[in-house]
Structure 1
């Protein structure tokens, strides 16, 4: 059975203050090759330790363990920032919402004085999350530079430049902490932990725990397990980068089914995702190559070429949030 490739990112890891072009090229070529076949790749030795992930999961678990009325004070309202309860996110029309809860932290919104962090409930929440965001930004920019070499872009810093506003007010990149609770009773008809979907933006950095359950859809329509690998990050292409590369990089559907074994049903699953987006004021209609779009790549999440011509990245993201959340 095929398995998602593993790329050693050590030569380009964020623990290095400087990385030579030759190293970026070598890693970028391997990453690009993995994306061509799978849309996903494992990166090991990135410079983000499992300790950092554990610290973030600990503070968010402390929040998720609070009574519902306490968590409700922090419902997602402003700029896609805040808590979502079980079933709130619906990825498939006509189906129940996913059996998970999450806390979403849009990077740009963190500078909004009206944003309320749950620090009165979990004192280290914002400090831990903001520190993790900075590491994710550094890694994302390093990955984008490597990918620029893998794509043979004339300007090898173009992708990172387009995304350099991460953690600023004009960028929708976000850190999302997810908790999949124990399944103590039968779920609603067609309800699962995470419905099949693709991601909105450019890239996603996913930090899984060791419980497992994530599956990705191969090009032939079959599914394979994205088996967790300790200290490795799962990286995937999202829809906007597929569009901007004219399908050279392809966004891959993925899902998490509800477990069938009783022990797995009773096990909490945690994951952390960092969704990488370019600056909000950029036009969606820009592409990285001059060749014509063709086939499925003339559309972006159902939006036609004509609809996309005057749409900014920020406006595009808002259309997706509107369609996704109940």
Structure 2
């Protein structure tokens, strides 16, 4: 468990009973712990996820090989903002705009990323939009596709395991999520926080690695280096450093889950402020697997989580696709998301 000076903590939960066919009693204990974490923090660390060390090592090797390429070569894999695939150079995005909040300098998030995701060809026979389910762009880096695909499959399994636990924790039918994830719009975003060779930038205390934001979909499975930088907003308005324990993955909830649960479970604000050491950014890597749901899935607040004490905060249903497009238009195309509500207010409050 990570505990900050403010008392903020990210609980560690062993999900082995759901991975290795535990007893009903063991699963119930895990589900109770997940519910507590989702209600109070919105972030957790999971152990017992079952991803082999060799698969994670392969992912980091592939990331290192790609990000070591020169910037001009990496830019040849850049795609238009509406295509959430390929390469994103430093200072080409602003995550805070996905919540309708202006940054001091637009498109100033100082990270680079490479995205792969579920493509139309992965769901044969389903009529899906080409832009949202675009085919992947694969760099000419030895074994990159094989190593990334191997991790993608494992992260997908973990995300789907988490939804099984979520169903138990929320008192839902075991197959509840199946109707919303048959052609889930899943994306793996590999991030690198470092100053590329030849970059000319003034380093100061306001340098943003990745602006404050909430994730968009159902659940995020995050592998990250044990390097400071990731910060999570506590309920008291404080920003708190979070670093994964040995062999742990970080799990956080997205907006879709917040909407579904009427904010009983929190889509928690987070950001990245990589530390500056000897005048440069200390390198930090992460890989976030976003399990977002079907693009045409209509998300309505769960009726059993609405009552006189908890009125419906999201009375208008929205499709996963419409929600994600509005968020991506902010982060990747620089268009402020005016549909953001409660999350925007939390950002402004945290900024003081």
TM-score, reference length from structure 1: 0.84
Structure 2 counterpart of 1:103: 114
Distance 1:297 1:110, change over 3 A: farther
User: What value does the CA root-mean-square deviation take over the aligned residues?
Assistant: 2.6
Structure 2 counterpart of 1:7: 13
Shift, 1:291, TM fit: 4.6
**Is the counterpart of residue 83 in structure 1 residue 87 in structure 2?**
yes
Structure 2 counterpart of 1:313: 320
Structure 2 counterpart of 1:37: 40
**Is the counterpart of residue 144 in structure 1 residue 158 in structure 2?**
no
Structure 1 counterpart of 2:284: 269
Shift, 1:230, TM fit: 1.6
Structure 2 counterpart of 1:288: 302
CA distance in structure 1 between the partners assigned to 2:276 and 2:204 by the alignment: 15
For structure 1, the 5+ residue unaligned runs are: 300-304
1:177–1:271 CA contact under 8 A, matched in 2: yes
Structure 1 counterpart of 2:127: none
CA distance in structure 2 between the partners assigned to 1:206 and 1:24 by the alignment: 22
Question: How do 1:251-270 and structure 2 match up within 5 A?
Answer: 251-262=267-278, 265-270=280-285
**Is the counterpart of residue 322 in structure 1 residue 329 in structure 2?**
yes
**Is the counterpart of residue 115 in structure 1 residue 146 in structure 2?**
no
CA distance in structure 2 between the partners assigned to 1:296 and 1:118 by the alignment: 46
Q: Deviations over 1:253-293 (max 9, x none)?
A: 11122424428x44311001001111111113x23334548
CA distance in structure 2 between the partners assigned to 1:266 and 1:250 by the alignment: 31
Structure 1 counterpart of 2:232: 216
Shift, 1:243, TM fit: 0.6
SS at match of 1:315: helix
SS at match of 2:171: coil
CA distance in structure 1 between the partners assigned to 2:228 and 2:34 by the alignment: 23
SS at match of 1:74: coil
SS at match of 1:204: strand
Structure 1 counterpart of 2:221: 205
SS at match of 2:30: helix
Distance 1:114 1:215, change over 3 A: closer
Shift, 1:163, TM fit: 4.7
SS at match of 2:57: helix
Shift, 1:182, TM fit: 3.5
1:214–1:225 CA contact under 8 A, matched in 2: yes
SS at match of 1:298: coil
TM-score, reference length from structure 2: 0.79
1:201–1:238 CA contact under 8 A, matched in 2: yes
Comparing 45-54 and 56-65, the one that deviates more: 45-54
CA distance in structure 2 between the partners assigned to 1:138 and 1:218 by the alignment: 29
Question: How do 1:129-168 and structure 2 match up within 5 A?
Answer: 129-153=148-172, 155-159=173-177, 161-165=178-182
SS at match of 1:118: coil
SS at match of 1:43: strand
Shift, 1:188, TM fit: 7.5
CA distance in structure 1 between the partners assigned to 2:297 and 2:136 by the alignment: 28
Distance 1:182 1:50, change over 3 A: farther
SS at match of 1:130: helix
Distance 1:142 1:255, change over 3 A: same
Distance 1:320 1:266, change over 3 A: closer
Comparing 288-297 and 61-70, the one that deviates more: 288-297
Shift, 1:91, TM fit: 1.7
CA distance in structure 2 between the partners assigned to 1:68 and 1:141 by the alignment: 35
Q: When the two structures are aligned, how many residues end up with a matched partner?
A: 306
